[in-house]
Amino acid sequence: MSFRFVSTGSYVPENVVTNDDLAQFLDTSDEWITQRVGIKERHISQGESAADMAIRAAQNALDAAGLKGEDIDLIIAATLTADHRCPGVAATVQNAIGAHGIAFDMSAACSGFIFALETAAGYFERNTCTRALVIGAEQMSRILDWTDRGTCVIFGDGAGAAILEKGDNLIASKLFTRGGNEVIDIFDVTVETPFYHPEEKWMPHVFMNGQETFKFAVNTITTDIPALLEEAGLTDDDISYYVLHQANVRILQFAVKRLKSNPDKFPMNIDRIGNTSAASVPILLDELNRAGKLERGKLFVLSAFGGGLTGATAVVRW
C-alpha cells in the first residue's frame, strides 16, 4: 500500500523577471539564456517566503479537492530555502491551514518532492496518517549570488503541492544519494562566535559546476527511467507523461532522444518558470492536472536530480 493522488496545487509569485531584466545588471543576454538553458522568464519573490508560497499552493490543492486544513494529518515540505529554521515550512503551513498531526521539512534539493512522496508512502503503509499534503517550496532568490551569471539566471521561485490518500498508485521508485559537494554546493552564511573567528566569510550562494551537473542530470534520467520501467515490467508505450525536473531544456531534449520517446510526452514549463528546485516537479504536475491532461488510471513518470547529489524517479498512476 502506498498512496493515491487526490488533488494538486501550485503558486508562483506575481513578479515576472525576463532575461532582458537580468541583462540590466548582469553580463548576459536573452539569446544566451534562451539557447543554453531554454528559460525566457521566471517568477521572483518580492518578500514572499518559501512558507508563504507553500501556504498558497496548499490552499489551492485543498480547494481543488473540496477539503479543509483539518482534513490533513501529515505535511511534508521539501525545501532548501526556509527563512525560519524553526518552525519550518511544513509546520508553518500546518498552523496557517489548521491541519494537525505531523509536519516536518526535508532537504534533498531538486529531488526533494519525490523523496517526500516516498516518505509519505511509508506513513500510509504503516497506517499512521489518513491524508497527507506533500509540498515542494523554494525561494531560490534568497540564496543566489545575483552577481554570478552562471547560476542566478537559471532559478526561479514557487511552490507546488499534492494531497494524498491511502492507495496503491506508487508503482515503483528509485531514489539515491551520491554524497559530495564537488558538483553542487549551496553555502549558508558563515557564523562568527566568541569562540570561532573564521578566516573566510561568505553569504549564502550556490556553487555549481554546470557541465558536471548537466552530465549527472542526463545520466540519471536516461539510466534510471528505463531501469525502473523494466523493473516494473513497463515500456515507454505504457507511460502517458514524463514529468521531469525543469533544469535545462537541453537536458530534457537529451532525455527525449536517449529514451527514444515522443517529445509530446515531456511537458515543459521551464521557459516560463525556470528551475524552482524542489517545487519544479509539483508545479508542472499541477499545470498538467489543471489542463485536464492527467487521466485517472494512466501511468506517468516523475524524475528529478540535484544537489546532494540526489536523484529520484517514480512511476505513478494518476
C-beta of 10 vs 277, nearer to ligand COA: 277
Catalytic hit among 19, 60, 275, 289: 275
How far apart are alpha carbons 282 and 113 in whole angstroms?
Answer: 7
What residue has cell string 570561532?
196
Write down the least CB distance from residue 20 to ligand COA, Å. Answer: 12
> Residues 101, 74: contact at Cβ < 8 Å?
yes
Q: Which of 24, 46, 127, 211 binds ligand COA (CB under 6 A)?
A: 211
Amino acid identity for residue 31 in this structure: E
Say if residues 245 and 281 touch (Cβ distance below 8 Å).
yes
Q: Give me the least distance between CB of 32 and ligand COA, in Å please.
A: 4
Taking residues 277 to 306 in sequence order and writing x for each that binds ligand COA by CB under 6 A, - otherwise, the string is -----------------------------x
* Whether residue 275 lies in the annotated active site: yes
Q: What residues from 45 to 104 belong to the interface with ligand COA (CB under 6 A)?
A: none
Binding span for ligand COA by CB under 6 A among 64-72, 204-212, 223-231, 256-264: 204-212
Residue 10 binds to ligand COA (criterion: CB under 6 A):
no
Q: Is 223 in the site for ligand COA (CB under 6 A)?
A: no
The Cα–Cα gap between 54 and 160 comes to 7
Using the contact rule CB under 6 A, the part of the chain among 208-216, 236-244, 257-265, 294-302 near ligand COA is 208-216
Least Å distance between CB 15 and ligand COA?
Answer: 20
Q: How far is the CB of 146 from ligand COA (least distance, A)?
A: 12
Q: Taking the alpha carbons of 176, 180, 182, 186 in that order, is the dihedral positive or negative? A: positive
Here's the x/- map for ligand COA, 96-135, by CB under 6 A: it reads as --------------x-------------------------
Is 156 near ligand COA (CB under 6 A)? no
Task: Please report whether residue 214 would count as binding ligand COA according to CB under 6 A.
Answer: yes
Q: Is 247 in the site for ligand COA (CB under 6 A)?
A: yes
- 95 in active site: no
Beta-ladder partners of 7:
163
207 is a site residue for ligand COA (CB under 6 A): no
Q: Which of 19, 110, 129, 289 is catalytic?
A: 110
110 is catalytic: yes
- Indicate which residues carry an active-site annotation: 110, 245, 275
